[in-house]
Amino acid sequence: MENTEVKQIMLKGGEFLIKETVPSSVFIPEEYSEEQLMVADAAKEFVEQQVLPNLDKLEQHDIELSKKLLEMSGEYGLLGTAIPEEYGGTGQDFITNSLLTEVNASAYSFALTMGAHTGIGTLPILYFGNEEQRSKYLPKLATGELKAAYCLTEPDSGSDALAAKTKAVLSDDGKHYILNGQKMWITNGGLADIFVVFAKINGTDFTGFIVEYGDEGFTRGKEEPKLGIKGSSTCQIFFENVKVPVENVLGEIGKGHRIAFNILNIGRIKLAAGVIGASKMATSASIQYANERKQFKRTIGSFGAIKHKLAEQAIRTYAVEAATYRTCGNIQHEEERLLGESKSYGQSLLGAAEEFAIECALLKVAGSEVLDFAVDEAVQIHGGIGYSEEGPVARAYRDSRINRIFEGTNEINRMLAVDMLLKRTLKGKIDLINAAQAVQKELMTPPSFGNGSNGELFAEEAKAVKNMKKATLLVAGATTQKLMAELQEEQEILMYISDMMGDALIAESVLLRTRKLVEMKGEAACSAQLDMMRVYLSDAMERLGLNGRKALKAWAENDELRMLLLGLKRFTKFEGINTKNARRRIADVMLEANEYCF
């Protein structure tokens, strides 16, 4: 990111809640370089020419076709973008790789075939493999000659991944580990050659292994009949006395959790990038249909109820996109900083993703829920044809649902986000306690009236975002002070707080994106984006206030509750704009362009 002349305020992970930053410190999607856009175009071309004409066949579980397309995507250079040149890849930066994930999303379930191969299948070897393992596997993974999968989940261990039962025992001659167990829901399970497998050595030391298909005792189950993403392969994997050479231990013995959890951070933010691509597609399909379809002698896009839906699809997509690429930019910046400290490539990206693990978890949740909303409204806007397999959105509707389940379910990610925030506080990495105390102190002073804007652009919105953070700190601070360790068992409250954190993060990001955009292009060229930002802020403030009230009412009573609710009310006051009219304006811009155009 080149913003050298302007002031930079780079925040650490989780600090978005207690500190402010400036537009010049965030990356926004309007800043892609020509090279990044060229990589995205190559991916678009591949998907349009090679994947989309084959979607129906892929959904019939044509495994050979999946393999062929994966190899072809390797020829297009799409499998090696995260792999450094020395191992046969092109070593693109994190933002470019995230943009690629977004573009690939238009390949429907084939995006998952590519994503599992390049992400959870390849990255553990790139980041945790030794030199020999990297040289042996990565060049062939970059071309697609070898295809990869990742085996963590088991029938009895899903969210509780460390409860895995798959066992590895060292052979008498010390040359192999003997693997026994069963894995479940393995993406690319039916086509991969290389599997990153987690097993417990002697039933205790959770460890990663690289296992090659073809070894005796290694079998794949039948393809799972799934609700959606039917064109991706998912099956069980069985290990019966499979001999894995000791050279194929991945990373350190007993440190498999480091691989599993670190890869998940990257997976979560990549998932957020992917769902943005799919949301834009669903919104564009909705706009095109709204322009075409006539009822009561009018196009349905001329009805306020439909404009509301179209605008809302766009607003939520634009907002979560702002926060996702802001976080991708933060991760990339931190990665570059760590590389500058002579950390290895793997340590740098993993360290950077770990630093922003809170944001990754929040955006996985928010992004997957935005896509579910966008596809649901796409079906609704299409009416009966939306429900038909021959229409353009039924597949997107079915394919969307998985995103709330994998890469950690949304419940787990919500709770994790709060848990990580509290842990960072306890470790002294983020000064949440002082910030929460400052908010409580502020409540002792009389409120200032008006929005303090003096007509300045963004002043009211900036104050609203500041107040969202204060409201979140008020609720999170008072709740943790009161419930202490008991909070772990109060999951409902954790979820409310997590949603407040998510709203504060996204609201600030959408404001920063829009401010930066106005600085780049001028106010007149960004009127729809200004509307989107203002509607988002208005709705986010209402949601945040509601979640705060629910959280407080879950434990506080009488005078204490009344005091806290008053404080919350003070911080969630926001006049905002006429959101109905703003939504109409946003929808009209898109109806005119006949697509999602932001």
The binding site for ligand FAD (CB under 6 A) comprises 116, 150-153, 158-159, 185-187, 226, 229, 234, 402, 405-406, 409, 411-412, 491
- DSSP H helices, 387-431, are 394-400, 410-426
9 CB neighbour count, 10 Å cutoff: 12
- Helix (H) / strand (E) element for 36: namely helix 34-46
Residue 373 corresponds to which amino acid?
F
Alpha carbon distance 95, 111 (integer Å): 18
Tokens of 45: 């071309």
User: Which is closer to ligand FAD, CB of 288 or CB of 491?
Assistant: 491
Q: How far is the CB of 540 from ligand FAD (least distance, A)?
A: 24
Q: How far is the CB of 339 from ligand FAD (least distance, A)?
A: 29
User: Which is closer to ligand FAD, CB of 29 or CB of 256?
Assistant: 256
Alpha carbon distance 424, 361 (integer Å): 15
Which residues touch 118 (CB under 8 Å, ≥6 apart)? 78, 79, 81, 82
User: Which is closer to ligand FAD, CB of 230 or CB of 309?
Assistant: 230
Residue with tokens 């596809």: 375
User: Which is closer to ligand FAD, CB of 29 or CB of 115?
Assistant: 115
User: Which is closer to ligand FAD, CB of 437 or CB of 491?
Assistant: 491
User: Which is closer to ligand FAD, CB of 205 or CB of 411?
Assistant: 411
- DSSP H helices, 448-526, are 459-483, 491-521
Alpha carbon distance 377, 463 (integer Å): 32
Q: How far is the CB of 375 from ligand FAD (least distance, A)?
A: 17
Q: How far is the CB of 82 from ligand FAD (least distance, A)?
A: 17
Q: How far is the CB of 507 from ligand FAD (least distance, A)?
A: 26
DSSP state of 154: B
Nearest-CB residue for ligand FAD: 158
User: Which is closer to ligand FAD, CB of 269 or CB of 478?
Assistant: 269
366: Cα within 13 Å, side-chain hemisphere = 30
246, 262, 569, 587 from 196: Cα distances, Å: 14, 14, 50, 46
Q: How far is the CB of 264 from ligand FAD (least distance, A)?
A: 9
Q: How far is the CB of 225 from ligand FAD (least distance, A)?
A: 11
Which residues touch 102 (CB under 8 Å, ≥6 apart)? 40, 273, 274, 276, 277
Q: Are strands 218-223 and 167-170 parallel, antiparallel or unpaired?
A: unpaired
User: Which is closer to ligand FAD, CB of 260 or CB of 535?
Assistant: 260
Residue 295's beta-bridge partner residues? Answer: 298
For residue 243, count CB atoms less than 10 angstroms from its CB and return exposed for 0-12, middle for 13-18, buried for 19 or more.
Answer: middle
228: Cα within 13 Å, side-chain hemisphere = 19
- Helix (H) / strand (E) element for 279: namely helix 256-292
Q: How far is the CB of 166 from ligand FAD (least distance, A)?
A: 11
User: Which is closer to ligand FAD, CB of 234 or CB of 286?
Assistant: 234
Residue 170's beta-bridge partner residues? Answer: 177
Q: How far is the CB of 123 from ligand FAD (least distance, A)?
A: 13
Q: How far is the CB of 182 from ligand FAD (least distance, A)?
A: 12
Are 57 and 355 in contact by the 8 Å Cβ rule? The answer is no
69, 131, 287, 375, 596 from 399: Cα distances, Å: 19, 38, 20, 9, 20
Are 279 and 285 in contact by the 8 Å Cβ rule? The answer is no
Residue with tokens 């984006």: 529
Are 368 and 279 in contact by the 8 Å Cβ rule? The answer is no
Q: Is 136 helix (H, G, I), strand (E, B) or coil?
A: helix
Q: How far is the CB of 319 from ligand FAD (least distance, A)?
A: 24
Are 110 and 130 in contact by the 8 Å Cβ rule? The answer is no
Per DSSP, the residues of 166-208 read -EEEE-TTSSEEEEEEEEEEEETTTT-SEEEEEEEETTTEEEE
Among 355, 359, 407, 461, the one annotated catalytic: 407
Known active-site residue 407:
yes
User: Which is closer to ligand FAD, CB of 300 or CB of 396?
Assistant: 396
Are 577 and 305 in contact by the 8 Å Cβ rule? The answer is no
User: Which is closer to ligand FAD, CB of 412 or CB of 533?
Assistant: 412
Active site residues: 407
